[in-house]
Amino acid sequence: MANKLLSFVPGPVEIRKEILDATAQMEMLTRLGGSHRSPEFTAFFKEVLERLRTFLNTKHRVYVSTSSATGLMEAAIRNGAQKRVVNFACGAFSKRWHDITKLCGAEADLVEVEWGQATTPELVEKHLSSGRYDAMTVVHNETSTGVMNPLEDIAAVAKKYPDVVVLVDCVSSLSAVRVDMDGLGLDMTLAGVQKAFALPPGIAVCTVSERLFEKSKNIPNRGYYFNFEELEKYAQRNAQTPTTPTMSLISGLHEQLGRMLNEGAEARERRHRAMAARVQDWARKRFGLFANEKYLSPTITNVRNTRKEKISTDDFRKALRERGLLIANGYGKLKGECFRVGHMGDLTLEEVDTLLRTADEILGA
Ligand code: PLP
């Protein structure tokens, strides 16, 4: 068994040593005056928020939440759902947003497409034109299937319905590909940092439009933890958070945003698309792709194991692991049928090549 593992699991992803060093809590506490209310920490956190807004190229409000991304999916509903929500789903995570919506007590309808297919602008038009909804949820990149939805086209349709707030799960796309939340009129985009941001799990980030922020003020029973007004009140109080944040991860985010700004959003997207193209080409030759070719994800490739009789997904993953390389099983009902290769965060084309070369050795290809 190799003693050093390189991870191509689509989250939590491979983390670089510099980032782990930056999250080292003791250093953080010493450097920042020991408390999240200290002037040292708030100045540091202010810089994090500025870097985040700059990297995402947005004028919307940005928040960092001490929760995983699911917390912010709940925040979206608590702050944005008043009349009735339409949850568009194309896989496990987008479908879970429907469960979250109902568990938050909101009226909601689920509009689902088959796994491997995308939520289309036509489908969105069909439902928004009913006039029944004041909020919609959609996933940008469905991690369970390897589909990237056509967000620009979906947003163009949604713009025709100004009473509907557009809530977008960008968990496995944000920072890997550019999302023009301001231009597209996306009222909320959210992501956990254990995906393309390549940090350890534990915090999540989001952007919130003025329109959603104003709307939220009139929605009762938003609770406290994910209440935008509370988050904003503290953000205005010299960049603070209502509750104790995960300071070590915020230190990691500070470091990572610095690195991301150095690389540049465009170059980062190019690197992700190059890695995706390499994995997709390989998957087409050796196996098959699960997702509709029109909507292949730039961060995750879901490979259909068409060689199951010769090598099971478990044996293939095990053989890679013995050689120091991690990939993920198929998600949920696709376990065994598929395996997933994450190509996001700080991974490089050279590392992807190592994975594919090793996979070929195992397959004897
Ligand atoms: N949405 C998508 C697309 C995801 O991939 C995930 C996690 O993998 C989630 C939501 C949930 O994120 P978290 O586990 O950070 O709450």
> Would you state the pLDDT for residue 1?
58
> Would you state the pLDDT for residue 2?
65
C-alpha span between 365 and 357 (Å, rounded): 9
Is residue 84 within 8 A of residue 132, CB to CB? The reply is yes
> Would you state the pLDDT for residue 289?
98
What spacing in Å lies between the alpha carbon of 31 and ligand 1's midpoint? 32
Is residue 106 within 8 A of residue 78, CB to CB? The reply is no
- Pairing of the two strands 147-148 and 165-169: unpaired
Under-50 pLDDT residues of the chain: none
Beta strands in the chain (DSSP E): 6-7, 61-65, 85-89, 108-112, 135-139, 141-142, 147-148, 165-169, 188-192, 204-208, 288-289, 300-304, 325-326, 328-329, 338-342
Looking from the CA of residue 201, the nearest atom of ligand 1 is: 15
Output the residue whose Cα is nearest ligand 1's atom 12: 69
Quick: pLDDT tens for 267-279: 999 999 999 999 9
Cα 266–271–272 angle (5° rounding)?
95
Name residues contacting ligand 1 (CB within 6 A).
11, 68-70, 93, 139, 142-143, 169, 171-172, 192
Whether the full predicted model's pTM is greater than 0.95, yes or no, is: yes
Looking from the CA of residue 144, the nearest atom of ligand 1 is: 5
Nearest alpha-carbon partner for 264 in 176, 148, 347, 147: 176
What spacing in Å lies between the alpha carbon of 70 and ligand 1's midpoint? 6
Looking from the CA of residue 11, the nearest atom of ligand 1 is: 8
Angle of the 313-322 helix axis to the 349-363 helix axis, nearest 10: 120
What spacing in Å lies between the alpha carbon of 144 and ligand 1's midpoint? 9
Out of 93, 139, 141, give the residue to mutate to test ligand 1, the one with the largest number of ligand atoms within 8 Å of its CB. Answer: 93
Quick: pLDDT tens for 166-209: 999 999 999 999 999 999 999 999 999 999 999 999 999 999 99
Is residue 49 within 8 A of residue 239, CB to CB? The reply is yes
Angle of the 151-158 helix axis to the 121-128 helix axis, nearest 10: 20
The amino acid at residue 307 is R
What spacing in Å lies between the alpha carbon of 191 and ligand 1's midpoint? 8
What spacing in Å lies between the alpha carbon of 232 and ligand 1's midpoint? 24
What spacing in Å lies between the alpha carbon of 255 and ligand 1's midpoint? 23
Output the residue whose Cα is nearest ligand 1's atom 10: 93
> Would you state the pLDDT for residue 32?
80
Quick: pLDDT tens for 322-338: 999 999 999 999 999 99
Out of 171, 190, 197, give the residue to mutate to test ligand 1, the one with the largest number of ligand atoms within 8 Å of its CB. Answer: 171
What spacing in Å lies between the alpha carbon of 303 and ligand 1's midpoint? 20
